[in-house]
A and B are shown apart, each in its own frame.
Chain A
Amino acid sequence: MNEAIWDWGYALSTLPELLEHFAKFTLVATVLGTALGAILGLVFTLVRRARTPVLSQATTVFIEFVRSTPLLIQLFFLYYVLPDVGLTLSAMTAGVVGLGVHYACYYTEVYRAGIDAVPVGQWEASTSLHLSPARTWRRVILPQAVRNVLPSLGNYAISMFKETPFLALITVPELVHTARAIGNDTSEYLEPLTMAGLVFLVASYPTALLLRRLERRLETSPVA
């Protein structure tokens, strides 16, 4: 160990296990968390737009609270408190629910901004064309709102991806958890942790670049 601080053979030997756990837990948690967040965020947005007296305010308070408190403690809450009320979640389920709910509270703001950014004239035109509310939403508003929100949704998906290691602390064996476990076994942390960092970088950086390109394209292309 003293003569060779960095051992390539060892570093590469950790890679298959890291990648396996990366695919099985990190990626799955990101995809499911994003899906849950996107759907739940839409529900929050609709509930708030409906202006039902108590429900809308309660939703707003809930969103503010979740957004201003640490994800990690929310995860602990889901994982350790819910069993007391008879709802035992697996670590992975608790993690996906935690990520989904936390990010839904960000997504709902993105949706709101995206819908608000559709020009008023579009609503007025729909009304004057006698479109039903459902058609207005489906055919006029949402197609325009989607292009407004897509880049932000992508950016949040990337930041969720980078927050999946939080799940390690509620025992989900995702990438960082695995890297640390390998380190514990061999008491050589340098290689597995560095490789885990590289895996993150290799996965997130190109995605971020693609998103930036998408953003620019959406900005410059004329509104269809």
Chain B
Amino acid sequence: MSSKYREEGARGALIAAVSTVVVFGAFIVLVLVSPNWPRVRDQFFNPEDFRAAAPAVLRGFWLNLRMFGWAVVAIPLVALVVAVMRSLRGPAFLPVRLLAIAYTDIFRGIPVILTILVLGFGVPALDLPGLTNSALFWGVTALTLSYSAYTAEIYRSGIDAVPESQRASARALGLTQLQALRYAILPQAIRNVIPALMNLVVALLKDVALVSVLGVREAVREADIYKARTFNYTGFLVATALFLAVSIPLTRFVDWYAARDRAIRSQTSV
């Protein structure tokens, strides 16, 4: 790099630093001079309440992570079954395809929160023998059903992106449709869509909080309980901090992975 460019780089960094300080500084000043700031500070940013609310919210957040963990294992499996069902060809598999299409249409068409409410309150109300009434279970199940519909569509886009010639040459070896999918198509398809899937993982981490509508005492619910008891909102700040502490590293990782994947592909593309 010539010195001219280096100078421009240094100047660019200076401009970036100054503009960042000015913009964020102006924003902070605007908040601080607002007439209600002292009240907002006490209600949302109170250090004592932060400490007081932290244990319960942290305990709740641990539940968020566990629910996330269950869903993040179940979703790829359910979605894979749906995607494979939808990818099968031939007239004999029409009912299977229709079932998969109906599933994705329905669960992509319903807001996640509604699925959670319907399953979480509806199924226990049926009082069927052998079925659990656990709000936790039905909340995670609703999340899984909803997210599997999206994930299945991502898988399918990956399957469709594998050239038709790959399927032809797998079938030419005498492999059945399912074998061709399993050994030839899916490994390529899944690799194609991993960056897209990981973005969904970040979204799932946050949507786990929706299970709070069932009364499950996860982080947001615990913050809400603290608010109801003390009329102080600082508990939500605790929850916010916890979510960011996990989601920002996760997002950075997803971006890093996607960039690395692009770099590897551009090197090895044939």
Q: Is B one of A's binding partners?
A: no
Q: Which residues of A contact B (CB under 8 A)?
A: none
